Amino acid sequence: MVFTIGWIGLLLGVTSNRGHAQQRPIFSQYMFNGLVLNPAYAGNQQQWVVSLVHRDQWVNVEGAPKTQSLVTHTALENRPMGIGLLVSRDQIGIHDDYSIYGSYAYKIKLLVGTLSLGLQGGFNYTQSNFELLRRFNLNDPSLTGVQTRFSPNFGTGAFYSNSKSYAGISVPYLLNNDVYNSADVLSEARERRYYFITGGHVFTLNPSIKLMPSTLIRYQEGQPVNMDLNANVFFQDVINLGASYRSGDSMIALFEIILNRNLSFGYTYDHTISRISRNTDGTHEFMLSYRLSIGNSKCHSYF
């Protein structure tokens, strides 16, 4: 795949030698896959969970992000702990980014609900193939060859939940690593921390229908605050229909079906409303989840 230099600046968010880089993928089904935002979510709801996610962002845009992830976490029976693992591959233009992060959560029982405190640690391995670029200057040594980068990182978070509500705050990646190893290529461009605040509540409208409004506040250092506003309606605890607004970026439609007591499938379509909308047919995201109860817990969970 070839990729223009102009798109690199757009997709990475790098606009100068002191640029900020948006390195972490964004998901639309995070309210049902909380470990991608917060390590304290590990082991929530006393289940073992395995989720596979594929996200195809900005369809028809050359070099646009494509993300595949495996997320698994479990509570430890008879112990106030949860552990998790997040493995992902994020392709964007000439860059392939692989990451592996492990999570640990310690759970504190409260009078109502549970407070979890979490830590995560791991690394990203990035490979950038500059030979795929369409270059104006073929002799530019800073835009040739294949560069690799190993970036360890760690993060933390807190998550509160009961049978109907949840709230969380997290900084999953604390280190501001360099974007490139080379001193010649965007040498001062660095990753910037993300801060996440999440919350939601389930309202029972009648025995067959439940409504869950939720929100995500996302802040990256040096960038404006962004917000997601979500509403999900559950029918007979089998079908879930939802809609989201991501500030300045997209309108999102969600469909989820509980196939059996263990297996569920989810799909979202993001209709882009930013300036890139004239060049794309939107974004598709698919998620397949398997849940296995631990002890006497039930498998179905609203978040």
Report if residue 303 sits inside a domain. Answer: no
List, for residues 259-289, the tens digit of each pLDDT value. 998 999 999 999 999 888 888 889 999 999 9
Cβ atoms 36, 28 nearer than 8 A: no
Cβ atoms 168, 195 nearer than 8 A: no
Strands 47-56 and 20-21: unpaired
Above 70 in pLDDT, residue 12? Answer: no
**Identity of residue 259:** L
Mean pLDDT of the chain: 86
Report if residue 299 sits inside a domain. Answer: no
In this prediction, residue 1 carries a pLDDT of 41
Above 90 in pLDDT, residue 192? Answer: no
Local confidence band at 231 (pLDDT 50, 70, 90 cut-offs): very high
Q: Measured at the alpha carbon of residue 74, what is the angle toward residues 217 and 291, in degrees to the nearest 5? A: 90
Look up the pTM and report it: 0.87
CATH number for the domain including 96? 2.40.160.60
Mean pLDDT of 199-220: 96
Phi and psi dihedrals of 187, rounded to 5?
-65, -20
In this prediction, residue 7 carries a pLDDT of 43
Report if residue 117 sits inside a domain. Answer: yes
Report if residue 173 sits inside a domain. Answer: yes
| Structural domain count of the chain | 1
Q: State the residue range of the domain holding 22.
A: 3-293
List, for residues 54-90, the tens digit of each pLDDT value. 999 999 888 899 999 999 999 998 899 999 999 999 9
Above 70 in pLDDT, residue 52? Answer: yes
Q: Which two tokens stand for residue 152?
A: 């360890």
Does residue 44 or residue 252 have the better pLDDT? 252
Report if residue 301 sits inside a domain. Answer: no
Does residue 251 or residue 94 have the better pLDDT? 251
Report if residue 132 sits inside a domain. Answer: yes
Closest CA to 153 of 181, 187, 178, 176: 176
List, for residues 124-139, the tens digit of each pLDDT value. 999 988 777 766 666 6
